[in-house]
A and B are shown apart, each in its own frame.
Chain A
């Protein structure tokens, strides 16, 4: 048993390292803007889905409202950017404000369990979206466009797309390693024991509420960071593009495809789902989209269904079961 745990840990770490290596090397091997975009989106979702996994996978708090954190991160960056703050600070500020929001909503939400918690997060996300859509200070429905600055590293504004990829990798490395250390550390084990049984956790003298709150704040922080990355890349945000339920669903979908009980699951998920989604849209949506509206989404759905039927524990689970079979 101990040995299997060891292998698990090794696999997670190795997948992290290899993913980062892949993200570093592939843009140089194949400098195609479309491909770079797919990789950028993958890194964005790697951060946010791993963050989601802290709550959804490790603590068992399933959220469909992560778009709220994502959107707050994006809005914070956009507004601070337009007010002259360096985006290098803005990205982390985005995370900080998102985690503050997570802290505030954690008080009421953490009283709920299971399905109810999940649905309450939908309500929080949707309500926040509608609120932003009517809030004039943040541009309401008209959204916020990032001010045009000189092309420079300081403003994270580049002509060549490849630089955005490396900014994303940098943020990804920092975020993933902080999250990895936390999950592999004491807090991570507490969170998992809360998922298994809150009562047991309490008997050993821990306060589950406190640790669930920590999970939410952490998750909110890094999802906010991912949102800020989105804003700096696409330079225009509105409530319906960064706070929509679809973003929340996408974030958790990727985590589920990859496997929620492993740290590296979301990385694997993002690496596979995002390029498939992008390529099917461009190949089918572009060429035949005029005749077959929605065909690429149909194919996307079929792939997801097959995965959920034949790899219900996610790809990481398949990998681990394979290894376990070998080493019992």
Chain B
């Protein structure tokens, strides 16, 4: 044995423990480093990276999947048409982040996309609470954030400089709901006096209910009942019973997919017959809902930003939908088309930005892209949506966005546009027949 002087006085115990600890630390450190080496972002010059954050796991992932399809489809179309021409035909690459529907995870994904994947802009993130944290990160890290699918009015009231929203918000939609009810009253005078509100109690539902209360009261309708429920609840019997007792002329509903199906089932079961049901999209326009609900969903009105029958009114829409359906097997819906449109809006901004800067200088390019979004001016008929186009105000809200009202018709089980009149393909069926008078 070699006698090492330094080690004299230190027991073997201590020596061994230190050794083990060094090994453990080396292992943990090595493991963390290895994780990072495995995890390498790839950046090619011939591509422009755009981040998209959607809830791809957890309970909101049904809708997240469709939203992602919409964006991916738009990217494919843009790339197949020669990419971003001002950047020498560079392709757009979507980098996907999974928010799992959780605000902090969405924020972490935004930071990853911006600083690790070096995306030029971030699109997302469906749930308004997730969009809040994502836009906050984008603001901090000076990256444009384009939102196509969150409708909470709060989002554009926070003084953000890097946030843009293409869709209309719940405030505007609720206002349009009141206008639509007044429109129904002109055709059937005096038939609607009272409304009741049924809403899910998360941020989106509560905000919608608040806006409804405001605009319905302003429009002279009396709110006879307002009930909130937990999304995903297995039974709504008591809630519908209460609504039935209040006996409103119109039922206003804000609920997600599972809730929407349950509400329709329970309404039939308890024989609740308002003259009309007016929904705030979400669950009611989900392709899965339309597939599952069947005759139960007939006569229901919903707010929409898009509808398949608009191709008669909006140029180019039928083609887009046909191509989409050929690839994914379903018709586009409001969520899908809004993400599709968001990517196209970003594309137009990228074309402009590409004239002034190159994505190799990311910091400058992001700033230029922000300015391009600020100055963007897309007219009517360019995008396959019934809007007047895209133009952002100083809060980042698209002032040309609009909503439409659709109704599920009993003859083909599809939603048809019934309002505003310039886009309508059918006249609204009102009042809806009682459950007992329906054939199926």
Contact = CB atoms under 8 A, between A and B. Distances in A.
Contacts of B228: 134
A296 B109 contact: no
Contact of B132 (A22, A145, A287, A297): A145
A contact patch SS = helix
B61 A32 contact: no
B107 interface: yes
Interface in A206-258: 230, 233-238, 240-241
Contacts of B424: none
B16 interface: yes
Contacts of B104: 230, 233-234, 241
B315 interface: no
Interface string B32-62: 1101101100000000000000001100010
A326 interface: yes
Contact of B136 (A22, A37, A236, A285): A236
B162 to A, nearest CB: 12
B71 to A, nearest CB: 10
A279 interface: yes
A224 B145 CA distance: 32
Contacts of B129: 143, 236, 238, 240-241
A287 to B, nearest CB: 7
Contacts of A18: 21, 24-25
Interface in A290-321: 290, 293-294, 296-297, 319
User: Which of A10, A283, A285, A296 counts the most B-chain CB atoms under 10 A from its CB?
Assistant: A285
A181 interface: no
A283 B109 CA distance: 11
Contact of B201 (A32, A134, A279): A134
Interface residue tally on A, bucketed by range: 35 or more
Nearest to A145: B132
B360 interface: no
B175 to A, nearest CB: 20
B154 A142 contact: yes
B112 A33 contact: yes
B96 A289 contact: yes
Contact of A293 (B61, B72, B112, B133): B61
Nearest to B204: A141
B263 to A, nearest CB: 19
B9 interface: no
B112 A141 contact: no
A177 interface: no
Nearest to A25: B29
B172 to A, nearest CB: 18
A167 interface: no
Interface stretch (A83-91, A184-192, A270-278): A270-278
A167 to B, nearest CB: 15
A323 interface: yes
Contact of A30 (B20, B33, B98, B136): B33
Contact of B21 (A15, A32, A148, A294): A15
Interface residue tally on B, bucketed by range: 35 or more
A41 B105 CA distance: 11
Given A238-B103, A290-B56, A296-B57, A7 B13 contact: yes
Interface string B118-160: 0000000000010011001001110000000000101000110
Contacts of B68: 290
Interface in B167-224: 201-203, 205-207
B contact patch SS = helix
B132 A236 contact: yes
B105 A32 contact: no
A143 B56 contact: no
Contact of A236 (B17, B103, B105, B116): B103
B158 A142 contact: no
B412 to A, nearest CB: 31
A127 interface: no
Nearest to B132: A236
Contact of B140 (A15, A159, A297): A159
A161 interface: yes
A217 B249 CA distance: 53
B388 interface: no
Contact of B112 (A15, A26, A34, A230): A34
B318 interface: no
Contacts of B136: 145, 235-236
B103 to A, nearest CB: 5
Contacts of A283: 38-39
Contacts of B107: 234-236
A285 B64 CA distance: 12
Nearest to A246: B102
Interface of A: 3, 7, 10-11, 14-15, 18, 22, 26, 30, 32-35, 37, 41, 133-134, 140-143, 145, 148, 159, 161, 230, 233-238, 240-241, 271-272, 275, 278-279, 281-283, 285-287, 289-290, 293-294, 296-297, 319, 322-323, 326-327
19 contacts: A15-B21, A22-B25, A26-B29, A30-B33, A34-B111, A37-B108, A37-B112, A140-B201, A234-B104, A236-B103, A238-B203, A241-B103, A275-B35, A281-B57, A281-B100, A283-B38, A285-B98, A289-B57, A290-B68
Top 9 nearest A-B pairs by Cβ distance? A285-B98, A33-B115, A289-B56, A34-B112, A234-B104, A33-B111, A142-B203, A37-B108, A289-B98
